[in-house]
Homo-oligomer: A and B are copies of this chain.
Amino acid sequence: MEHLPGFRDFYPEPLPHQDVWSADARQYLFDKWRDTARRYGFREYDGPPLEPLELFTLKSGAEIVGQLYNFKDKGEREIALRPEMTPTLARMVAAHERNYKKPIKWFAVPQLFRYERQQKGRLREHFQFNADILGETDGAADAELVALLIDTLRAFGLTTQDFVVRLSSRNAWQAYFTQHGGPTGREYDFFQVIDKLERTSPEESQSQLAALGFSLEAVQGFIRSGEPTAELAAILDNLAARGLREFVKVDYHVVRGLAYYTGPVFEAFDVQGEFRAIAGGGRYDNLVKLISGGKAHLPALGFGMGDVVLLELLKARGRLPAFAARVEVVVLIEDEQLRAGSLRLVQTLRDAGRAVEYALTPTRPNKQFKQAQELHANWTVKLVSETVVEVQHLNTRTKRSGPSAAVLHLLAET
The yes or no answer to A17 lying at the interface (CB within 8 A) is yes
Which single member of B15, B41, B48, B340 contacts A327 (CB below 8 Å)?
B41
Closest Cβ of chain B: how far from A350's Cβ, in Å? 4
Measured CA separation A4–B325 after assembly (Å) = 39
Pair B79/A4 contact, Cβ less than 8 Å: yes
Contacts of A344 in B (CB 8 A): 241-243
In the bound complex, CA of A237 to CA of B3 (Å) = 41
Check B7 against A99 for contact (C-beta < 8 Å). Answer: no
Per-residue interface assignment for chain A, residues 101 to 112, with 1 indicating a CB less than 8 Å from any chain B CB and 0 otherwise? 101001000010
| Chain A interface, DSSP helix/strand/loop, else mixed | mixed
By size class, the interface of chain A is: 35 or more
The answer, yes or no, to whether A69 is at the interface (CB within 8 Å) is yes
In angstroms, Cα B4 to Cα A51, docked, is 6
Q: A23 to chain B: which residues have CB within 8 Å?
A: 43-46
Are B77 and A241 touching (Cβ within 8 A)? no
Chain A positions within 8 Å of B, measured between CB atoms, are: 1-4, 7-12, 14-17, 20, 23-24, 26-27, 38-41, 43-52, 54-55, 69, 71-75, 77, 79, 81, 91-92, 95-96, 98-101, 103, 106, 111, 115, 118, 125, 136, 138, 140-141, 144, 147, 151, 237-238, 241-244, 291-293, 325-327, 339-341, 343-344, 346-347, 350-351, 353-357, 360-361, 371, 374
